[in-house]
Amino acid sequence: MYANVTSFCAQLALAALMLVVPGLAAAAGGTLTVSPSAIVMGAQFNGIDLTVTGSVPAGVDVIVRLTGTPDELHLREKGKIFGLLWMNVGQVTATNVPSVYLVSGSRPLQQMGAGAAPFRLEALTGTFGIKEEGADSSIDIPHELLLLKSKEGLYRETAEGITLGETTGDMQQFSAHIKAPSSLKPGEYRVEAIALKNGSVIGQSQTVIDATLTGFPKWLSDLAYQKSVLYGVMATVIAIFSGLVIGLVFQGKGAH
């Protein structure tokens, strides 16, 4: 729902912008390309370097972001007991938390003015839905959630990876490198490019990229989730068998 509303707003804004500034049609149109065009997670998958290319009006700031689908998270909050021991003291349910949020700017986002503020990592905290149970309210939960996700490499804000290319007419090429971690889940990811001038957004375009499991990881994941008892028994039998084989190998060596 959130994603739909946002993209609808974005489209509305784009339509309005295209009417006002003819040069922006190119930025908003189909020029945003992501390579590779899909995230394929096979046995050798170790995160991925995405390259996003497109064109923007010359002399603007560029923000590129990768956003995962919003999740509901169940968390535990730590607090002090008896003024001495740190323990989980409360339960927190956080909704509308993007699984991944990687944003980079052609220069630091805080220097781009007010228009860049909604795209900053800190701005996410305002969109989370937080429900607390039995906890003390002294902790800034949205902020702690950002820390947690950042530590996992799933949230990041940088001023690196975007290079602006040569200018042709009043348009300019850009390319952005986004390093996505291996811990991202299969699913849909939204890639957006935003153009800012003098602190306000003048153009925005987006595309969607799919992450899917393939090969052995896909086979294993399907088995584990769809035939879980069989999977558990298989895991146990193979472990016992391997243990016996390794034991026998060692006996063979010991006999010499």
Partner 1 sequence: MSLSMNLYLPIAGASVNCLAIFGLGGVVGLLSGIFGVGGGFLMTPLLIMLGIPPTVAAASDSNQIVGASTSGTLAHFRQGNVDIKMGLLLLVGGVVGGTLGVQIIALLRKMGNADFLISITYVLMLGFVGGYMFLESLQSMRKSTRNTHAGAPRGESLYAKMIRWMPFQVDFKRSGIQLSALMPFLLGTMVGVLSAIMGVGGGFIMVPVMVYLLRMPMHVVVGTSLFQILFTCMNVTVMQAAKNHTVDFVLALLLLLGSAIGAQIGVKIGKKLGGEHLKILLASLVLIVMVKMLYDLLARPDILLTYAGGH
Footprint on this chain of partner 1 (rule: CB under 8 A): 41-47, 73-79, 81, 84-89, 91-92, 134, 139, 141, 144-145, 147-148, 151, 182-183, 185, 213, 217-218, 220-221, 224-225, 228-229, 231-236, 238-240, 242-244, 246-248, 250-251
Our CB check for partner 1 shows the closer of 36 and 134 to be: 134
Closest approach, Cβ 44 to partner 1, in A, equals: 6
DSSP output for 45-98? ---EEEEEEEEEETT-EEEEEEEEPEEEEEEEEEEEETTTEEEEEEEEEEEEEE
Q: Is the sign of the CA dihedral 128, 131, 132, 136 positive or negative?
A: positive
Instruction: Considering the complex, state which of residue 117 and residue 233 has its C-beta at the smaller distance from partner 1.
Output: 233
Q: What is the phi/psi pair of residue 139, to 5°?
A: -90, 135
Q: Please give the Cα distance from 132 to 208 (Å, whole number).
A: 33
Strand partners for 174:
54, 164
Q: How far is the CB of 67 from partner 1 (least distance, A)?
A: 18
Nearer to partner 1, 88 or 168 (CB): 88
Beta carbon of residue 103, minimum distance to partner 1 (angstroms, whole number): 21
* Beta carbon of residue 119, minimum distance to partner 1 (angstroms, whole number): 24
Q: Select from 121, 201, 132, 196 the least CA-distant residue to 157.
A: 121
**Between residues 5 and 229, which has the closer beta carbon with respect to partner 1?**
229
Q: Please classify residue 237 by burial: count the beta carbons closer than 10 Å to its beta carbon, then call 0-12 exposed, 13-18 middle and 19+ buried.
A: exposed
The two structure tokens encoding residue 160: 């690196």
Closer to partner 1 by CB, 165 or 243: give it: 243
Q: Select 120 or 218, whichever has its Cβ closest to partner 1.
A: 218
Query: Rounded CA gap, 40 and 99, in Å?
Result: 18
Taking the complex as a whole, how short is the minimal distance between the CB of residue 65 and partner 1, in angstroms? 22
CA distance 174 to 33: 11
Supply the minimum distance, in Å, between the C-beta of residue 61 and partner 1: 32
User: Shortest gap between Cβ of 18 and partner 1 (angstroms)?
Assistant: 40
Among candidate residues 154, 146, 119, the one with its CA nearest the CA of residue 130: 146
Q: Which residue lies nearer to partner 1 by CB, 8 or 250?
A: 250
- Beta strand pairing call for 155-158 and 101-105: parallel
